[in-house]
A and B are shown apart, each in its own frame.
Chain A
Amino acid sequence: MPIVSSNKVGEKAWTRRLWAAFFLGPHLLGMLAFLIIPIAASLVLSFSTWDLLTPARWVGLDNYAALLNSPDFWDALKHTFYFIAGYLPLVLVLGLGLALLMNQKLRGRIFFRAAFFMPVVSAWVAVARLWKWLLNPRYGLVNWLLGLVGIEGPGWIFDPNWAIPSIILASVWKDLGFVMVLLLTGLQSISPEFYEAASLDGAASWRKLVYITLPLLSPTIFFVVVISLVNSFQVFDQVYVMTAGGPAGSSQVLVGEIVNNAFSYSRFGYASALSWVLFGLIFLVTLVQLGLQKRMVHYQ
């Protein structure tokens, strides 16, 4: 990234500084007030206890220690990983399948893309409501359809064993179009020459997929995995609306823990510590992935 700038003839440094202040000032003020200072405050807060009513008190690492000793935290972490383990492979494989289909230059692609992207642009709250209705054990469409083929559908969000699978199902439905479009962009950037050479060699199409498409698509796949993982660590809206962490805490996730502690119990220090643990997890996973990427990803 070359950084270029116009240096006008005879322009004085201080006029330039004034212009820089004029252009950057408003945004920098906003960033400081609503992002940078709150980030710093959150870090300080995570070493204190504060409920807004009594004065804040410095407690060192107590919040982090309390968190590590809290079964709720470990449960939320477990549920978050369970969600990721179900959601990520599903959305990736289905998204890849759709992207391969969409890459065939078929007619009506615009229509299909429009359809797949509709869940992506919709508000989670509305969509989660919708899935709660579709998955209603007695009157929902899903169990009715299952009944048609002779399967007795589960209790979905009312069953502790099915609450997270329900959330996974709704999340895959919502994000499928997004993952598909990202992967499609990657597929379209693969040079056709690779396939031409393979065709001359008489390679079968599945061999082309395994030996050409997937390796050349690996940078995009990695990108998709990174952002999907970062996003799924922060899963919350759909959980809040569909199950509110229930039944019996069986689907409480990390962000749900943060929200509960801050919002319901006014444990602001503890909630901040939780959010920094979340950040640490995201950071760690990103680092691991960047390391893996160097070894596994192929570039054209």
Chain B
Amino acid sequence: MQVEVENQGNISFMGARKNTLKLAAILKLAKTVPAYLALTVAALFALFPFIWMVSTSLKLPGEVLSASPVLLPTNPTLNAYVTISEAFPIWRILFNSVLVAGLTTALQLLFSAMAAFAFARINFRGRSALFVVYLATLMIPSQVTITPLFILMTGLGWVNTYQGLILPGAFSAFGVFLLRQSFLSFPKEYEEAASLEGASYWTVFRRLVLPLSGPALATLVVLSFMSAWNSFLWPLFVTRDADIMTLPVALATLQGRWTTQWNLVMAGAVLAVLPIITLYLLAQRYFVEGLTSGGLKG
């Protein structure tokens, strides 16, 4: 549609032809108006709650509980954020979230890539059988393991520790499956050439396979970071003190303290979603690709 309109200036048409083209362009535009309208309404439905969340977090308590709500706070204030940071070790909690999500992702990436390489490129006995076991674990919902895991953590004395928060989330068949598919997709000839020159498996992995798998690795990074950052059920089980809590768990306990102080609760919600939304906007492609390729919501 745009092309036709832009071309009119460059190519000289007969007047009548010009008019029909213009008419066609207008008709096409008219056809897109309902689509734009519908999309805009849907986008508002998706975005407005976020805007309301930020707006509420900047209001004074009196303005929050008002019979006729206003979109923009009359006296925008960061009081809610200050109150939260005084009542909660908010920087510590933010640090915990970054540490837990970061380490989970790093471990997930390193060990999954190595395991995927073994499954894709090293011929060893029992490989297929083991891979079937890996695939089978993908079908089991995480609630099945949560009780024995909690008992295990209690036995190890890992309740309320970083290792208890991080390690159970660092191993999944999903990452191995995703990377194996990618490793299988590039030609074997590269590797054969490398091994003829005497390169070890480690060199092939490090110098050849990893550099060629950028997009798949990025997808896994994004997915594991997001699911670790948003994870709720396991951190809720395994943390007790605010010093070790991640943001979602802290946010869940926040409500208990201030049931009706919505500006405080919304400020906490803003803190919990801001980092991941920023990351998402910076790496949109990998988020969308990753989530659709896995069919997982983290």
Distance, CA A38 to CA B196, complexed state (A): 43
Could you say which of B7-15, B31-39, B76-84 contacts chain A?
Answer: B31-39
Please state if B117 and A23 are interface contacts (CB–CB under 8 Å): yes
Q: Which residues of B sit under 8 angstroms from A248, Cβ to Cβ?
A: none
Chain B nearest Cβ from A109, distance in angstroms: 9
Distance, CA A285 to CA B147, complexed state (A): 24
Residues of B contacting A: mostly: helix
- Among residues 72 to 130 in chain A, which have CB atoms less than 8 Å away from a CB atom of chain B? 97-98, 101-102, 104, 106-107, 110-127, 129-130
Chain A nearest Cβ from B176, distance in angstroms: 7
Please state if A129 and B171 are interface contacts (CB–CB under 8 Å): no
Interface residues on B, range: 35 or more
Indicate if A297 sits at the interface (CB-CB under 8 A).
no
Number of A positions contacting B (CB below 8 A)? 101
Give A134-148 as 1s and 0s: 1 = Cβ < 8 Å from B's Cβ atoms: 101011010010000
Chain B nearest Cβ from A88, distance in angstroms: 14
Q: A23-B118, A144-B68 are known contacts. Are A42 and B277 too (CB-CB below 8 A)?
A: no
Could you say which of B18-26, B85-93, B210-218, B247-255 contacts chain A?
Answer: B247-255
- Among residues 13 to 33 in chain A, which have CB atoms less than 8 Å away from a CB atom of chain B? 16-17, 19-20, 22-24, 26-28, 30-31, 33
Indicate if B64 sits at the interface (CB-CB under 8 A).
yes
Could you list 4 further interchain pairs (A-B, Cβ under 8 angstroms) beyond the known A30-B171, A118-B280, A279-B140?
A125-B248, A126-B269, A136-B262, A263-B237
> Nearest 6 pairs between A and B by C-beta?
A30-B171, A27-B115, A5-B123, A23-B118, A41-B148, A20-B124
Chain A contacts to B: CB under 8 angstroms = 1-9, 16-17, 19-20, 22-24, 26-28, 30-31, 33-39, 41-42, 45, 50, 52, 97-98, 101-102, 104, 106-107, 110-127, 129-131, 133-134, 136, 138-139, 141, 144, 173, 175-178, 181-182, 185, 223, 227, 230-231, 233-234, 236-237, 240-241, 255, 258-259, 262-263, 268, 271-272, 275-276, 278-279, 282-283, 286
Chain B contacts to A: CB under 8 angstroms = 2, 32, 35-36, 38-39, 42-43, 45-47, 49-50, 52-53, 56, 64-69, 111-112, 114-115, 117-125, 127-128, 130, 133-134, 137, 139-152, 154, 167-168, 170-173, 176, 184, 188, 191-192, 195-196, 200-202, 204-205, 226, 229-230, 232-233, 237, 247-249, 251-252, 255, 262, 265-266, 268-270, 272-273, 276-277, 280-281, 284, 287-288, 291-292, 295-297
